[in-house]
Structure 1
Amino acid sequence: MTNVNLAIIYYSSTGTNYQLAKWAEEGAKEVGAEVKVLKVEELAPESAIASNPAWKAHYEATKDVPTATLEDLEWADAIIFSVPTRFGNVPSQLKQFLDTTGGLWAQGKLANKVVSAMASAANAHGGQEQTILALYTTMMHWGAIIAAPGYTDGSAFAAGGNPYGTSVTVDQEGNMIEDVEAAVKHQAKRTVEVAQWVKNGIQK
């Protein structure tokens, strides 16, 4: 068996996607992956963060989580992204990070990375699927291999049935509506498994 290096890269303002990232970490470690949980840099001004108590609390609580770098992308065999939707698209914080990857892309160092994505929104039709698909568009430019969960496990249905990647609805109090923990862990394990196949195949 070849160890898979998995980077779980997330953006979270009030904690939902951080929790999804931590569940993904648990699932991936269960199948032997080497895992880094990494946040993208917060670009919002301190005044905006301070205006929302939940945002400020989460910002302070996760100060010690490492910030994703290009070196992390190069290290990773597989990458799971977890983000809230912003008008059916990825948050500017993640987009800013992705826009710095041109050098690695030009060198072909992002090709054949195995990628998967998760998302959240404040209502059931708030753009979760479109956000994941928007992120996958960038991944296609990378030449990455998308490991969507599809319906490869029954946990997808309890989680709302999103085949593109696990997604969750979050109420005004910050509570997750769907039961997504098992689906997130399955998605992480599947991503690692596909990366294992790719890595073993390349090394032959």
Structure 2
Amino acid sequence: MKTLVLFYSTYGHIWKMAEAIAEGAREVAGNEVVVKRVPETLPQAVLDQTGATGAQQAFAHVPVATPDELTQYDAIIFGTPTRYGNMCGQMQAYLDSTGGLWAKGALVGKVGGAFVSTATQHGGQETTIRAVHTALLHHGFILVGLPYAWQGQMGHEEVTGGTPYGASTVAGGKGERQPSANELEGARFQGRHTAEIAQKLAAK
């Protein structure tokens, strides 16, 4: 069985969540986990101006996924920062490029899900995940979220991400907050849970 963790990260928050998702997925025996990113679409001058260039060096070694390779995986978990309550333009552009796969029904029956980051606690985490879900449903994915079996999203003692739709983190208005231990644990749970369901389906 193979699982792909596919992400776009501007300042590294989603990259750290992607690593945790992958850690959880690797806990499932017999599961080969691959982490890749989607292509950058912003001009270099814009990346330099926003300070993203330096942050992205941390995961510059991660290979870029082509749309056609999505057929190779049993489960695909998508990570994206939020842009006005929606997925980022880079992830949208990547999904827009999968029309050929949609026309052939090449991804029907695969297991999928999403995880996100927002600047604020109420900055569109759930709407962004639901936006990714919409694209995945059009492709025929079987959706897996982050069930309340993970109790980390039930607490209110600290600011934390975590939704029943998928794992999430709060980055802060200037990206100053890094994913917390609780948020990373939620990501690991989602990765493991998604891989377990994909494995059960593959065994049918």
TM-score normalised according to structure 1 size? 0.91
Give 1:37's aligned residue.
35
TM superposition shift of 1:18: 0.4
The 3 A distance-change label for structure 1 pair 73 and 177 is closer
The DSSP-based 3-state class of the residue aligned with 1:181 is helix
TM superposition shift of 1:161: 4.4
Structure 2 residue runs of 5 or longer lacking an equivalent are none
Give 1:140's aligned residue.
137
Structure 1 residue runs of 5 or longer lacking an equivalent are none
TM-score normalised according to structure 2 size? 0.91
The runs of 4+ residues in structure 1 deviating greater than 3 Å are 158-161
**Bigger shift: 149-158 or 112-121?**
149-158
The DSSP-based 3-state class of the residue aligned with 2:203 is helix
Give 2:119's aligned residue.
122
After superposition, give the CA deviation of every residue in 1:18-74 in whole Å (9 maximum; x if it has no partner). Answer: 000011111111213211111110111111111133x11122332221101123311
Matches within 5 A, 1:1-204: 4-32=1-29, 33-53=31-51, 55-158=52-155, 159-171=160-172, 172-176=174-178, 178=180, 179-201=182-204
TM superposition shift of 1:181: 1.1
Matched residues, number: 197
Checking the alignment, whether the CA contact within 8 Å between 2:162 and 2:186 is kept in structure 1 is no
RMSD over aligned Cα, in angstroms? Answer: 1.5
The 3 A distance-change label for structure 1 pair 164 and 173 is closer
Identity %: 36
The DSSP-based 3-state class of the residue aligned with 2:83 is coil
- Measure the CA separation in 1 of the matches of 2:194 and 2:41: 29
The DSSP-based 3-state class of the residue aligned with 1:24 is helix
TM superposition shift of 1:177: 6.3
After superposition, give the CA deviation of every residue in 1:100-142 in whole Å (9 maximum; x if it has no partner). Answer: 1111122121101100110111001101110000110011111
